[in-house]
Structure 1
Amino acid sequence: MRLSTAPWVLLATFSGTLIALQSRINGELAAGLGGDGFAGAVVSFGSGLVVLALGLLAFPAGRRGVRRVRDAVRGQRLKWWQVLGGFGGATFVLAQGLTVTALGVALFTVAVVAGQVGGGLVFDRMGLGPAGPQKPTRRRVVGAALVLLAVGISMADKVGGGFPYAMLALPLVAGVFVSWQQAVNGHVKNTAGSAYTGTFFNFATGTTALLAVLLVHAAIKGLPDGLPSQPYLYAGGVIGIVFISIAVAAVHKLGVLVLGLCTITGQLIGSLGLDLLLPHGDAEVTAATFAGAALALGAVALAAVAGRRTPRIVAAGDPRVLPAPVAENSR
Structure 2
Amino acid sequence: MMVSTQSRVNGGLSQQLQNGYLAAAVSFGSGLVILIVLVACVPRGRRGLVKLRREVAAGAYPVWGLLGGTCGAFFVLTQGLVATVLGVALFTVGIVAGQVSGGLVIDRVGLGPGGRIAPTTTRLIGTGLAIVAVAVSVSDRILGGDGGSVWLIVIPVVAGIGMAWQSAVNGLVRVAAQSAITATFVNFLVGTVVLAIAAAVSIAVQGWPTGWPSEPWFYIGGLAGVVFIALATILVRTAGVLLLSMSNVAGQLVGSVVFEVWVPLADGVTIPLLSGVGLALVAVVIAALPARPSAAGATDRA
Is the structural similarity TM-score above 0.5?
A: yes
Amino acid at match of 2:102: G
Corresponding residue for 2:84? 101
Q: Quick check: 1:231 aligned with 2:216?
A: yes
Q: Does 1:248 align with 2:233?
A: yes
Match of 1:64 among 47, 52, 61: 47
Aligned-partner residue type, residue 86 of structure 1 = G
Give the aligned partner of residue 300 of structure 1. 284
Give, in whole Å, the separation in 2 of the partners of 1:61 and 1:311: 35
Q: What residue is the counterpart of 2:257 in the other structure?
A: 272
Return the letter of the residue paired with 2:245: G
Question: Aligned letter for 2:25?
Answer: V
- Can you list the C-alpha shifts for 1:150-198, whole angstroms capped at 9, x where unaligned? 4544564566444523433332321221111011000011122222211
More divergent stretch after superposition (37-46 vs 140-149): 140-149
Specify the alignment match of 2:180 in structure 1: 195
Instruction: Indicate conservation of the 8 Å contact 1:106/1:155, yes or no.
Output: no
CA distance in 1, matches of 2:167, 2:214: 33
Q: 1:170 aligns with which of 147, 155, 161?
A: 155
Cα distance between partner residues in 2 of 1:67 and 1:46: 22
Deviations 1:209-263 (A, max 9, x none): 1112222223333332332211100000000011111111111112112222222
Which consecutive unaligned segments of at least 5 residues does structure 2 have?
A: none
SS across alignment from 1:224: coil
Listed as ranges, the gaps of 5+ residues in structure 1 are: 1-16, 315-331
Alignment partner, residue 283 of structure 1: 268
Which residue does 2:203 correspond to in 1? Answer: 218
Are 1:110 and 1:152, in contact at CA under 8 Å, matched by a contact in 2? Answer: no
Change beyond 3 A, Cα 1:29–1:217: same
Query: C-alpha displacement at 1:295, in angstroms?
Result: 4.3
Alpha carbon RMSD of aligned pairs, Å? Answer: 2.4
Q: Among 107, 125, 128, which residue is 1:142 paired with?
A: 125
Change (3 A) 1:50 1:148: same
Tell me whether 1:91 sits opposite 2:74 in the alignment: yes
Q: Any conservation in 2 of the 1:117–1:144 contact (CA below 8 Å)?
A: yes
Distance 1:313 1:282 in 2: 45
Provide the secondary structure at the position in 1 that maps to 2:240: helix
Aligned-pair distance for 1:119? Answer: 1.6
Task: Please tell me the residue identity of whatever aligns with 2:175.
Answer: N
Q: Distance in 1 between matches of 2:233 and 2:72?
A: 12
Q: How many residues align structurally?
A: 296
Q: Following TM superposition, by how much is the alpha carbon of 1:311 offset from its aligned partner in structure 2, in angstroms? A: 7.7
Partner AA of 1:19 in structure 2? V
Residue 3 of structure 1 corresponds to none
Q: TM-score, normalised by structure 1?
A: 0.81
* Aligned pair partner of 1:49 in 32, 36, 41: 32
Give the one of 9, 19, 23 matched to 2:7: 23
CA deviation map 1:72-129 (0-9, x unaligned): 1111221111111111100000011111112211332233223222322222222111
Q: Which has the higher helix share?
A: 2
CA distance in 2 between counterparts of 1:45 and 1:133 reads 31
Give the distance between the partners of 1:42 and 1:31, measured in 2 at CA.
14
In terms of mean alpha carbon deviation, does 134-143 or 46-55 score higher?
A: 134-143
Of 66-75 and 259-268, more deviation after overlay is shown by 259-268
User: Matches of 2:283 and 2:124 in 1, distance apart?
Assistant: 10
Q: Is the 8 A contact 1:26 1:96 kept in 2?
A: yes
Over the matched positions of the two proteins, sequence identity in percent amounts to: 44
Is residue 138–residue 150 contact of structure 2 (8 Å, CA) maintained in 1? no
Residues 276, 285 of structure 1: 8 Å contact kept? no
SS at match of 1:78: coil
Match of 2:113 in 1: 130
Partners of 1:246 and 1:158 lie apart in 2 by 35
